[in-house]
Amino acid sequence: MNTVKDKVCIDDPDVQQRVFKSLMQAMSRPGIWQALPTGAEPFALLLAALCDPAAGYADTENRVDVRTRLHIGAPIVDETGAAFVLAAGNDNAASDRQSPHLGTLDDPHLSTTFILVIPEGGKSDSLRLEGPGVSPEGVVFDTGGLHPTWLERREVWVRNFPLGVDFILIKGASVAALPRTTRILKEDSQ
């Protein structure tokens, strides 16, 4: 249980820098879990570090309380217009509801980034990752509860690279990423 001194303010610039550093490590090293500061909801830390008044987010399960919304300082928008979509990574219905923006050839960066919350202790499912930022031998990544439907949908969304989506995964106080440049294979695939 957190005490008052264990709490962190999600909009504190030092906290946001630590969160952003962990996120950049996760994006540049796909499939490697990075530690986030403790003392606040990990999804709130990420939203506060990533969002601004011009980059709104969708909260598909109403996880963000009113007080946290004020600290994030970004608008909550419809999923189709959101730069970031916060959703349950262990819920296949949540993936089926999505129609993300995939960017354009002129502006591929204007695509949706999913922030997927995965419960700790989820079913283990290992994937082999390849691509930029992954060692030549590849990385074996334990998704630990990410519903397979999310990965199936991701394959469709990233099919026309550079268009696509990026995944940021949260499990406990850790973050990992699956950028659109990462190829995902089942662990037994070679």
Q: What is the pLDDT along the chain (190 residues), one digit of tens a residue?
A: 343 445 778 888 899 999 999 999 999 999 999 999 998 999 999 999 999 888 889 998 899 989 889 888 888 988 887 899 999 999 888 877 888 989 999 999 899 999 999 988 766 778 899 989 998 888 888 887 899 899 999 999 999 999 999 999 999 999 999 999 999 986 544 4
Assigned token pair, 62: 């109403």
What DSSP string describes 135-184? -TT-EEEE-SS--HHHHHHHHHHTTTTTS--EEEEEETTEEEEE-TT-EE
pLDDT confidence of residue 122 = 65
